[in-house]
Amino acid sequence: MATERTFSIIKPDATERNLTGKINAMIEEAGLRIVAQRRIQMTDAQAKRFYDVHAERPFYGELVEFMTSAPVVVQVLEGENAVAKYREVMGATNPAEAAEGTIRKECALSIGENSVHGSDSLENAKLEIGQFFSEADIAG
């Protein structure tokens, strides 16, 4: 299996409840390395662009409003099979369906306030990383 990089966001519901450290510990315990991270206040334009794929969904406005409601932590995670591994560590989008021991089972409040985002493919990981990190940020 190849070493991959994936993109992660620790969302406002988690930063607001001081869960950044707990989530980072769960990420590291799963064998993923945090190779870059930055705490930012996402702008309306950044959130709209990031979630453009969901622009026609009924929850799009609510999603953009939520993602800009408080700081988030954007991250690049590295490891064997990192894209699939992180999705496993996050658990299902809806915390009611998330498996025991996953981040969303332990931390998420609802399908919207679900604590973390992780890329769904290697191709999207590259695009998403590029939206928030420069080559210099993630070199080495």
Stretch of 23-31, 40-48, 58-66, 72-80 contacting ligand CMP, by CB under 6 A: 58-66
Token pair for residue 59?
């929850």
Binding segment toward ligand CMP, per CB under 6 A, in 13-21, 59-67, 81-89, 122-130: 59-67
DSSP state string for the chain:
--EEEEEEEE-HHHHHTT-HHHHHHHHHHTT-EEEEEEEE---HHHHHHHTGGGTTSTTHHHHHHHHTSS-EEEEEEEEETHHHHHHHHH--SSGGGPPTTSHHHHH--SSSS-SEEE-SSHHHHHHHHHHH--TTTT--
Q: Contacting ligand CMP (CB under 6 A), which of 73, 117, 125, 129?
A: 117
Which CB, 63 or 98, lies closer to ligand CMP?
63
Q: Binding marks (x or -) toward ligand CMP, 17..56, rule CB under 6 A?
A: -------------------------------------x--
From 69, 81, 93, 124, residue interacting with ligand CMP (rule: CB under 6 A) = 93
Count of residues binding ligand CMP (CB under 6 A)? 9
C-alpha span between 98 and 104 (Å, rounded): 6
Nearest distance in Å: CB 65, ligand CMP: 11
Out of 14, 63, 72, 74, name the contact with ligand CMP by CB under 6 A.
Answer: 63
User: Known catalytic residues?
Assistant: 117
